[in-house]
């Protein structure tokens, strides 16, 4: 049986969708779903054995009373807000929770696959290598990134990276992110205005090497991110930390162009001021080296930005449907 924490969230619910497509229903969904927060919609079409509140699940972890038939935990649950300022909350919710679940999995020889983040790489001056030997060089720019980085370092220091899998997700976009508020992808956030007004707003650049809208990210369609995650479910002999991206950075202008093209609209961009609090924490470039995951056998092609945005718009956003 498989536990998916954060199973009502964005990537977690997409993992459930893919597992259901494979015929898997022996699933325990762990999350925190509140009335009106939108996450319940992500679960409506999913098939699973049971749902558990995240705090109740943690109590079972700490009391060692998890169903003994669980053989895998895919841990996607976390607060992913990059601009939160409650350091103690990130410490408890992201680092300590992950550590406690990992310890239980390690004690019981349960497969543990967890979500790390490209936010751990900070400003990128030290690169984006998923070589574990490089972990100590990185300096995240926010509490979210720090909480993820802290667990990566804990796993390294405990000498357990040869028994677990950490996935550094880059900029994931796609269906099932409707509930994420400000943490939604730009495609999702901009879609209503492009439809109603035919315009999009992007941040101006404050870096001399990047023109307005030419700040770059490694954008990965959620279906590719799910395929890479489940690759490690299928290959239980693999362990360590791996980037989950495409290996090709694209600009925000490219994202806008793909969105307008999918909607058949002429491109119109307004460049707006970046909030002052964000400027010192802003990543101008991210790109995932993908050699490591390729070297262990993942050989599927990545969805192009244009194709991913087109499918997202035409198959999901236009109908507000879910995967």
| Of 51, 60, 178, 180, catalytic | 180
Q: Contact at 8 Å (CB) between 259 and 199?
A: no
- Please provide residue 284's backbone torsions phi and psi, each rounded to the nearest 5 degrees: -85, -20
CA-only gyration radius of the chain, Å: 19
Between strands 269-272 and 200-203, the pairing is parallel
The third-level CATH classification (topology) of the domain covering 2-173+219-246+290-300 is Rossmann fold (3.40.50)
| Residue 313: pLDDT over 80 | yes
| Residue 271: pLDDT over 90 | yes
**Domain limits, the chain:** 2-173+219-246+290-300
pLDDT tens-digit series, residues 59-94: 999 999 999 999 999 999 987 767 677 889 899 999
| Of 90, 138, 144, 242, catalytic | 144
- Please provide residue 6's backbone torsions phi and psi, each rounded to the nearest 5 degrees: 65, 25
- Please provide residue 99's backbone torsions phi and psi, each rounded to the nearest 5 degrees: -60, -45
| Residue 193: pLDDT over 90 | yes
Residue 180 catalytic?
A: yes
Distance CA 118, CA 99 (A): 19
Ramachandran bin of 216, using left for φ above 0, alpha for ψ from -120 to 50, beta for the remaining angles: beta
| Residue 243: pLDDT over 70 | yes
Distances 37 to 92, 180, 221 between C-alpha atoms, Å: 22, 9, 23
pLDDT tens-digit series, residues 120-169: 999 899 999 999 999 999 999 899 999 999 999 999 999 999 999 999 99
pTM of the model: 0.95
């Amino acid at each position: 049986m498989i536990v998916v924490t954060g199973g009502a969230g964005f990537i977690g619910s997409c993992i459930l969708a893919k597992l259901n497509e494979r015929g898997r229903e022996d699933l325990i969904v762990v999350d925190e779903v509140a009335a009106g927060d939108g996450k319940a919609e992500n679960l409506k079409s999913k098939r699973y054995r049971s749902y558990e509140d995240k705090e109740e699940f943690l109590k079972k972890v700490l009391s060692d009373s998890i169903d003994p038939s669980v053989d895998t935990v895919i841990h996607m649950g976390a607060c992913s807000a990059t601009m939160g300022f409650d350091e103690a909350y990130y410490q408890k919710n992201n680092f300590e929770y992950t550590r406690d679940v990992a310890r239980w999995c390690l004690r019981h020889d349960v497969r543990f696959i967890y979500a790390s983040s490209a936010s751990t790489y900070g400003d990128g001056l030290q690169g984006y290598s998923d070589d574990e030997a490089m972990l100590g060089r990185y300096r995240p720019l926010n509490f979210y990134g720090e909480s993820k980085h802290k667990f990566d370092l804990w796993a390294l220091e405990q000498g357990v990276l040869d028994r677990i899998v950490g996935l550094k997700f880059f900029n994931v976009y796609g269906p099932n992110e409707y509930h994420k508020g400000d943490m939604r992808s730009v495609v999702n956030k901009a879609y209503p205005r492009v439809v109603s007004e035919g315009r999009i707003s992007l941040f101006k650049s404050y870096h001399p090497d990047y023109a307005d809208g030419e700040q770059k990210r490694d954008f990965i369609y959620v279906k590719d991110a799910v395929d890479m995650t489940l690759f490690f479910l299928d290959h239980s002999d693999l362990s360590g930390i791996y980037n989950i991206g495409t290996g090709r950075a694209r600009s925000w202008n490219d994202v806008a162009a793909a969105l307008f093209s999918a909607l058949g609209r002429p491109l119109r961009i307004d460049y707006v001021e970046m909030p002052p609090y964000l400027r010192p924490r802003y990543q101008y470039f991210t790109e995932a080296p993908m050699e490591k995951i390729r070297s262990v056998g993942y050989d599927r092609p990545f969805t192009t930005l244009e194709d991913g945005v087109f499918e997202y718009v035409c198959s999901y956003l236009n109908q507000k449907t879910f995967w």
